[in-house]
Amino acid sequence: MKICSLFSGSSGNAIFVAEGKTKLLVEAGLSGKKIAGALCSIGESLSEISAILVSHEHLDHVRGAGVLSRRYDLPIYATAGTWEALEKMIGPVSECNKRIFSSYEPFAIGDIEVAPFPIPHDANEPVGYSFSSGGKKVTIATDIGHISLDLLRCFEDSDLLLLESNHDPEMLRMGPYPWPLKQRIAGKHGHLSNDDAGEVVAYMAERGTKKFLLGHLSKQNNFPELAYQTVRSVLCEKCVNAGSDVMLDVALRDRVSRVIEV
């Protein structure tokens, strides 16, 4: 499988996942033009995308979904709860392209097995996703307020984990956001901090996951070098070396990251 983060952050999210002729767009939180340009930069085209999957209805995940579905006749996959909140945000989508699934039941799109799982976030039935094909597994988990044993079980056996590393707690505390927003971000249904991400990455590395991408970085309360170094430090404490023992990289907020194969 191939995965490429086209954009990842509080300003907009879009991730490309592919196996053979099955090519998926996970999130469509930017304009169709930006997503098309990002795909073109890695040699891919919207005309070859098989489907769009969205994790929840927040605008940074769905801004371009309706336009892309109408223009390219693409199915959009989301939970019933997400669809309930989604339709008024993205405009009309043909009935045949409204694909509803359960948070707990795997399904297939072409050559890829998709396993959704519930995530703790302040949205209407949000999910993360694991994608499997040919014995390989890629997991995408962002917009997570806290980590649970159930989530860690969903991450098990992942060859690559794209995990939220949204904010630095001190930057958030001292930053310009109003207090209620700071509480929301740091709350149990908000976003994962760099420190929390480090603990999860170390836990998964000790259990065999070899490739990690840190994603959904905040523009105001984080920056790539800080997220990377925070997680790297936690790994070092566990005697795991980023670069030699595991691949550790950052999914960039405003531009295309490298294509990774598993």
Cβ-Cβ contacts under 8 Å for 86 (sequence gap 6 or more): 54, 57, 62, 65, 76, 78
| pLDDT per residue as tens digits for the range 32-65 | 999 999 999 999 999 999 999 999 999 999 999 9
The confidence band for 251, taking pLDDT boundaries of 50, 70 and 90, is very high
Domains identified in the chain and CATH numbers:
2-261 (3.60.15.10)
In whole angstroms, give the CA distance from residue 78 to residue 107.
Answer: 12
pTM: 0.96
71 and 49 Cβ atoms separated by less than 8 Å: no
pLDDT confidence of residue 154: 97
Cβ-proximal residues to 233 (8 Å cutoff; 6+ apart), any chain: 198
Q: With CA atoms as reference, report the closest residue to 163 among 180, 139, 131, 181.
A: 139
> Residue 99 has what pLDDT?
98
CA distance 214 to 252: 9
| Torsional class of 135: left (φ above 0), alpha (ψ -120 to 50), beta (otherwise) | left
Contact between 228 and 177 under an 8 Å Cβ cutoff? The reply is: no
Bridge partners, 150 (sequence order): none
Residues forming a β-bridge with 133: 136
pLDDT band with cut points at 50, 70 and 90 for residue 151: very high
Provide the Cα torsion 216, 38, 11, 153; round to 10°: -20
Query: What is the rounded distance in angstroms from the CA atom of residue 82 to the CA atom of residue 253?
Result: 24
Per-residue pLDDT at 120 exceeds 90: yes
pLDDT at 114: 98
**What was the pLDDT predicted at 87?**
84
Q: What is the pLDDT of residue 233?
A: 98
- N- to C-terminal Cα separation, the chain: 5
Nearest Cα neighbor of 214 from 204, 222, 224 is 224
Query: Among positive and negative, which fits the CA dihedral 184, 235, 141, 39?
Result: positive
Give residue-wise pLDDT tens across range 2-33.
999 999 998 899 999 999 999 999 999 999 99
Q: Is the pLDDT of residue 170 over 90?
A: yes
Q: What percent of the chain has pLDDT over 70?
A: 100
Mean pLDDT of 68-76: 97
CA distances 128 to 114, 142, 179, Å, are 10, 7, 28
> How far is the CA of 183 from the CAs of 56, 143, 171, 188, in angstroms?
20, 15, 13, 9
Q: Taking 90 as the threshold, does the pLDDT of residue 121 lie above it?
A: yes
pLDDT at residue 215 in the model: 97
pLDDT tens readout for residues 178-214: 999 999 999 999 999 999 999 999 999 999 999 999 9
Q: What is the pLDDT of residue 10?
A: 86
